[in-house]
Each structure stands twice: as C-alpha cells, then as structure tokens.
A and B are shown apart, each in its own frame.
Chain A
Amino acid sequence: MKPIHVLGLIPFIGMLGGLPFANKATPLVLGLPFLLFWIVLWVILTSVVMAIVNFLDPSNREEEV
C-alpha cells in the first residue's frame, strides 16, 4: 500500500461519514434537497480525488501501454 493509495479513502469517509450530518431536506442548495446536494457534491469531489490519484500514482508512469 503506497501512501498515495490512502487518498482513495477520502471519498468513502466524506460521502458516507458525512451522511449523518447531511440527512436533512433543507436548505435547498442549487434547487436540490440538502441530502441529495451533499451526495452530488461528493460524487464530483470523488472524481477530482481520483484525478489527483491518477496523476500522482507512480505506477501509471512505470507501465507501458
């Protein structure tokens, strides 16, 4: 387990760990109930995290296509 792989835990902690606090209908954010907004936000953040992981992971450079 390389240190960079620990980054993969962030989406789990953020999305699921935040649920108890995000489980409410209001305030509506961008027209969405807060709970749905929270999840959508984390889906987007997950994509960002994985882009960073892809960029930093040394094994992506080692291997030929």
Chain B
Amino acid sequence: MSAMLIMLAFLIAAIFLAIQSGWGKKMNLEQWAVGGRGFGTVFVFLLLAGEFFTTFTFLGGSGMIYQVGSPAYYVLMYLTLAYVFSYYLLPPIWRYAKEHRIVSISDFFRSKYESSLLGMLVAVVGMVGSVPIVVLQLKGLGIIVSETSYGMISPTLAMWIGTIVVTVYVMISGIHGAARTAIIKDITIVMIVVFLGIYLPYHYYDGFKPMFEAIQATKPGHLTLPDKGQSLSWVISTVLLTVVGFYMQPGLFAAALSAKSVKVFRRNTIIMPLYTLMLVFVFLVGYTAILQVPGLKGAEGDLALLRLSIQTFDPWFIGVIGGVGLLTALVPTSVFLLTIGTLFAKNIYQPLAKSSSEEHIAKVAKVTVPVVALISLYFVINGGNALYALLLMSFSLITQLFPALLCSLLPNNNPVNKYGAAWGILCGVATVAYLTISKTTIGTLFPDLPQAVKDLNTGFIALFVNLLITFVVSALTRNSVAKKETISSPNY
C-alpha cells in the first residue's frame, strides 16, 4: 500500500508541475512545440537527457546486460559520440530554424527543399518512426507500475492512467510541462540509479570485483563481445549508424530547437557524455541480477532491475523506484506526443486543408495528441508481431532522413534536389522495411563474406541504397529543376 501512495505522490507532483509551467504563457505553436526557443543550457540538457533516460534505458539497459551482456555497451558509446557529433550538426540547423521559424524536422525539409510534399513525406516517416517509441514507453510504464504495486494495479490499468495524464499535460502546457517534470525526474533518477548500482553489488557480493569474478567464473564470455552476431563489427557499425540518426528523431530534433542559442549545444557536449555514465550504474544492477534473480527468459530480462529490487528492499522504497520509473516514461512520451502532433498539424494537415491560421493549426496539433495516444495504447494492448517489426525498424527508418538533411546544410550548392531527397528517402525506407520483414542480413545475402562483414548492421544497406538513389535522381532531374526555377522565380 505504501508503495502505491508514494507512486501517487510522484504522479500528482508531475501533473502539478506540468500544469503550473504553462500558466500565464500564450500557447501558440512555437511556444507549445519548442518553448518559444527560450530554453537555456539546463532545460535543453534535461530535455535531451530526458529523451535518452527513458524506461527503455532503465529497464532495457539492465535487461540487455542480463540477457546478452557486453553488446549493451553500445548505448553508452553511441550517446557519447552523438553528443560530440551534435557540436557540429546542431548549430547550423538551429540558426536556419530560428530564421525561418521552424518547429519540426519536416518543416525543415519543406523549407530547405521548397517542397510541401517532401515535408509531408518526412512527417509520415517521422510519425511512423515515433509511434513505436511512445508504445514502448507505455509498455514500460505498465510493467513498472504493476511490478512495483506488487501486482495490485494491472499493467493495462496503469497504461490507461499514464496515457490520460500525459495527454492532459501535453495538451495544456506543451514542451514546458516536459521540461519542468524533467527536473524532478532527472534528480531522482540519478540518485536512485547511483544508489542501486553501488548498493546492490556491495550487498550481494561485497563489491564490484568479486561480482565480476563470480560472473566470469559462471558465465565465461558474458563480459566480452561475442565472436559473431552482436560482435565487434556489429557494435561499431551500429554505433556509427545510431550517431548519425540520433538527431533525426523528431522528438530530439524539436528538443534541440528549444535552445535559446547555439552555445547551449556546445556547452552541453561537455556535460552530456559524463551524464551517460549513469548507464554504467544501470549496467551494474543488471550484472547483480544475473546470478541473484536467475531464470528470467527472453523479454522477461527487462524485469531484472525491478525483481532484484523487490527481493532486496522494503515496500516504501519500491514505491520510490516505481514513482521515478513512472516519470521516466511520462517525460519522453510527452515530448514525442507533442512532436507527432506538430508534425501532423503543420506538415500534413496544413498543406492538405490549405488552412493558414496559426491558431487553428495549433489547435489541430493539440487534438492530434489524444488520438495518437489512444492509437499507441491500442498497439500496446493488442499489438502482436506487427508492432515488434515496427519497433525493430523505427530507428533505421528515421536514419534515412540523414543524407538529405546533411546535404541541405552545405553552405552553397547542395548537390541534392527535392526529387533526389524524396526518392532517396522512399527507397531507403522501403529497403529497411524489406530487410526487417524478410529478416535479411548481410550474412544471408553474401554468405561467403568474412564474419566481420556479415555482422555489420543492415542499416548500412538501406543507407547505401538511399544515397545512391538520392544522387542519381538529383543528377537526372537537375535540368528540369533549373528550368522550373527560372519560370517560377518571380514568385519567390
């Protein structure tokens, strides 16, 4: 009972903070979606950090260590390197976005390539890639609440409550709510994770060293990368792909736009890598669980952290873990929901409805939120294999936006035009879908290649197809674009 009361207190605090953060602000679309571009280092840090410290890292990070071991380190590496990359990538994006009042990634494409159709395509890719993330968070939320309430609240009920709460606060206060809630979320999660990561190994093994020695003795090979499958070349290729795709995620892109100056990103590149070290503590919890709560099979591995905690601590503390877990689901979910809302209203609804009133668009964006939330909820409760396939490919789908985006940032003479960009993205997305659904890998295509090449992330195939089509189509259509521009140039 005490566990549930504590969780409830977290929930109420989150709702209060979120609603209060929106008071007295005129919520036009720019204010709602990117906080009027007024967030300083701390808020942007929290938003970007909040995006990565989700239920997936909390449960999935320890779960992956529990199940497969070292390949889980890739998360730590890609986050660190993605921040390094952001030092160079984000400032030009931010400057252009500010100048053209851009609030989403599809806006950016629409404006750079002067094509609403391309904007629409990017919006669709962004939405298809984002919904699985919302679904994943809701699922995690259900697991956390039902486990930490000792089964008193069913996962389904927990997901319903979570969905309603997050919908209400996204609609009222937009990104301000997420930023505000992120403060208590991040402070509490850091304390909890560091505590668990140190206390549990010491409680069960008297230290890290004896723990790893015990694991090494019982499960040799668990502490290094395997020779095939998720091997060295898988890790390196996956890290590189994830680094370039990282900021293509519409939610992260929007969070980056909320910064008030480019210095905010640059400064963040110093602290962000250190912050990812929090994951090491999550890993340590996963390692403790390996021999202490044995027998979790497959997807159950995600329960490792919660099961180990329940077996170790008093109910009130489980309530605290549950409350923090709740917040790790709510903050990213709210950012993703509001991004999906913005994408739909601004880049799909507006061009189709030919509506120009900013107020009306903001309203459509807000109304989209509960619709998407309900669709996601439906997927969590009824989703089968389709959902799993979507989850697997969501990140690779989003990464397909990278080549055209990067080319559009070139200071002069972008070699890619709108036709090239659109066809490249379409073909890249189709390749990802085909590879995922048919379970094709480089290994199945070319069985004779060395193992290291076979283990490369299949995302590279899609990216290669994408690049090829992008440049070929751009080259073929160069003349027709040039002609059209001379005809229509008076309009600009």
Contacts and interface: CB of A to CB of B under 8 A. Distances in A.
Contacts, number: 107
Contact of A63 (B88, B261, B280): B261
A50 B262 contact: no
A24 B224 contact: yes
B270 A50 contact: yes
Interface in A15-47: 15-16, 19-20, 23-26, 28, 30-33, 35-36, 39-40, 42-44, 46-47
B33 to A, nearest CB: 23
Most buried by A among B84, B88, B211: B84
A5 B225 CA distance: 31
Contacts of B199: none
Interface string B258-269: 001111001101
Given A24-B224, A28-B209, A53 B280 contact: no
Contact of A43 (B70, B88, B232, B276): B276
Given A11-B81, A44-B274, A54 B266 contact: yes
A8 B225 contact: no
Interface residues of A, number: 35
Nearest to A20: B232
B341 to A, nearest CB: 31
Nearest to B95: A63
B15 interface: no
B235 interface: yes
A59 to B, nearest CB: 8
Interface in B157-204: none
A47 B261 contact: no
Given A19-B232, A36-B280, A63-B263, A42 B224 contact: no
Contacts of A60: 263, 266
Contacts of A65: 260-261, 263
Looking at chain A's contact residues, the main secondary structure is helix
What class of interface size applies to chain B in its complex with A?
A: 35 or more
A43 B80 contact: yes
Contacts of A24: 224
Given A19-B235, A31-B209, A47 B77 contact: no
A39 B84 contact: no
B236 interface: yes
A25 B222 CA distance: 9
Given A25-B223, A39-B73, A40-B280, A46 B216 contact: no
Most buried by A among B208, B213, B262, B270: B270
| Complex A-B, nearest 8 residue pairs according to Cβ-Cβ distance, in ascending order | A31-B208, A25-B223, A33-B223, A31-B209, A50-B269, A47-B273, A46-B273, A51-B270
Given A11-B84, A28-B212, A33-B70, 19 more contacts: A5-B88, A11-B81, A15-B77, A15-B81, A16-B239, A23-B224, A25-B223, A30-B208, A32-B208, A33-B212, A33-B216, A35-B225, A36-B283, A39-B77, A40-B280, A43-B80, A46-B81, A47-B270, A65-B260
21 contacts: A12-B81, A16-B81, A20-B232, A23-B225, A25-B212, A25-B224, A28-B208, A30-B208, A31-B208, A35-B225, A36-B70, A39-B73, A40-B280, A43-B276, A47-B274, A50-B83, A51-B270, A54-B266, A54-B269, A60-B266, A65-B263
